[in-house]
Structures are given as C-alpha cells and as structure tokens.
C-alpha cells in the first residue's frame, strides 16, 4: 500500500506531462498502481465504468475519431498486433479490442493504453499479463465501427484496406500511423557489415518492418512514400529503411522502443 502523499506526488508528476514509466522510476511506485490512480482520478470520473459517449462513426453525421494522432497510432498498433473479438453473448454486441505488447517495452504498453483511452475515454482499459506479453484490452460496442478492417480469419488471409475517412486521417499526417506500425511489427536494429576491402566492419542503424500481410506492408510503404522516406523490400515479408537520411527522418518521430 502507498500513502496519500506518495499518491498525490505521483498524480502531480503525471499532471506535468511525465509518462507512467517515468513517474514510476521517480517515485518507486509500480506502473500498475500509477495507472490505477490515473484511471480513477482523470477528469474527475471513474473510468472503470463504461460510458455511453456517442460513437463518431454512428452519429447522424459520421465523423472521424478524435484525437486524430491517437487514432492513427492505434490503427497502426491494431493492424500489427491487434484483434477485435466478441465478448460474452453475441446478442449483446459488445466487442473487445485486444492489442499485444511485448513485456520488454513498458513504454509501448503505456502509450498503447493512452491511445485507447484517448479514442474511447469513457471505456475501461485493462492490462492483462499473457505469456511473454501484456494484452491491452478494452470493451466497446463500437470497435468494429472504428476499425472496419475487422473480419473473420487472420488479417493476412483477407483483404485489408483503409476506408476513405481513415485514408484522410493517415494522409493528413502519416507519422503516427507509421509509428504505430513500427511499434507493433517493427524494430530499429544495428546492422554490422564487413567493409568491401575486407578490412574491418562498419555499423549503421536501420528500421525493419515485418508483416505477412501484403496489404498491410503496402499501407506501410505508402505512408513512407508520403513522408519521402526511401525504403526497399529486404525480404519477401520485410521492409527495410536503411539510408542515413531516411533513418534520421524516422528517428525524428519514432526512435527505438522503450
């Protein structure tokens, strides 16, 4: 248990814009406890109770989800490591958005939770430990409205394309979408290559994105083209960004996972 002063200090640091991970490091409080406090106090509401905020796609005049950057980032995460599945009895028409985040990247888990909460602020967000990963989970009747890519079967076995309103969001600013895709199915390793002379080695960073769906790879490379980031197909299911200026461009808004 943590005393009141510790809780107040943690919430104050969150109010200054620090991430959950950074507040945890500064206070010694577990990330789980900080997320619990944050959920229970944000905007003076108990966010564990699912609200009835109108779905922007179901309103009389459909509109895109907001905030656009959070939605675009979440779309990238969903296409990479997410799924939507029914909860309880089918007639209730309640769906769970489930996104798998590796245990090795606590910062990614926090960002995923934040994006889900930003897009559906009245719905509870859960983090569930699974073997080797944390599942970020949230229930809503409207996840299929927000992610029309949902359908039966695996993503790489069916057509994946963006709706017109999704394309408008991504094309307006492709960076959050690219960041979400790389955070789900990408990495930033250091490549080590022997010099042509055979005298020693040289190293350089690069971004790799791997997905078995040709459609999702196509959405990724299309977004890179919009950003003017050069890329090449490194392997049949892998896209590489290795040129120095291209890596620097991605470093400006993606960077290594944490």
CA distance 205 to 192: 9
Residue with tokens 């896209």: 239
Encoding tokens for residue 61? 């005049």
Residue with tokens 């109770």: 49
pLDDT, tens digit, for every residue of 199-218? Answer: 767 788 999 999 999 999 99
Of 105, 50, 44, 51, the closest CA to residue 77 belongs to 105
What is the full per-residue pLDDT of the chain (258 aa) written as tens digits?
566 668 778 887 887 778 888 888 888 888 877 877 777 665 444 333 344 467 899 888 899 999 999 999 999 999 999 999 998 777 778 999 999 999 999 999 999 999 999 999 989 999 999 998 999 999 999 999 999 999 888 898 899 999 999 999 999 999 999 999 999 999 999 988 776 766 767 788 999 999 999 999 999 999 999 999 999 999 999 999 999 999 999 999 997 788
List Cβ neighbours of 62 (8 Å cut-off, separation of 6 or more): 56, 165
Helix axes 31-41, 20-27, angle to 10 degrees: 120
Concatenated DSSP letters of 68-80: HHHHHHHHHHHHH
CA distance 131 to 125: 19
Q: How many helices (H) and strands (E) does the chain have?
A: 10, 10
**Alpha carbon of 217 to those of 81, 211, 257: distances in Å?**
14, 6, 20
Encoding tokens for residue 54? 């109108």
For 5, half-sphere exposure in the C-beta direction (CA atoms, 13 angstrom radius) is: 0
- End-to-end CA distance of the chain, in Å? 27
CA distance 90 to 139: 13
């Amino acid at each position: 248990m943590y005393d009141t002063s510790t809780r107040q200090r943690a919430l104050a640091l969150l109010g200054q814009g620090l991430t959950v991970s950074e507040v945890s490091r500064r206070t010694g409080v577990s990330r789980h406890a900080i997320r619990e406090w944050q959920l229970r106090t944000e905007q003076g509401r108990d966010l564990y109770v699912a609200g009835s905020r109108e779905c922007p796609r179901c309103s009389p005049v459909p509109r895109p989800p907001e905030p656009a950057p959070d939605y675009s980032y979440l779309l990238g995460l969903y296409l990479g490591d997410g799924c939507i599945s029914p909860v309880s009895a089918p007639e209730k028409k309640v769906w769970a958005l489930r996104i798998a985040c590796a245990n090795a990247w606590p910062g990614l888990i926090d960002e995923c939770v934040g994006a889900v909460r930003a897009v559906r602020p009245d719905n509870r967000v859960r983090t569930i430990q699974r073997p080797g990963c944390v599942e970020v989970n949230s229930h809503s009747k409207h996840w299929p409205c927000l992610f029309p890519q949902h359908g039966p079967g695996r993503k790489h076995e069916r057509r994946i394309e963006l709706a017109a309103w999704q394309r408008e969001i991504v094309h307006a600013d492709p960076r959050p979408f690219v960041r979400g895709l790389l955070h789900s199915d990408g990495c930033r390793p250091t490549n080590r290559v022997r010099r042509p002379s055979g005298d020693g080695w040289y190293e350089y960073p690069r971004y790799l994105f791997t997905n078995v769906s040709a459609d999702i790879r196509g959405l990724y490379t299309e977004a890179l083209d919009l950003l003017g980031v050069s890329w090449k197909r490194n392997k049949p299911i892998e896209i590489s960004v290795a040129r120095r200026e291209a890596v620097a461009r991605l470093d400006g808004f993606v960077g290594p996972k944490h």
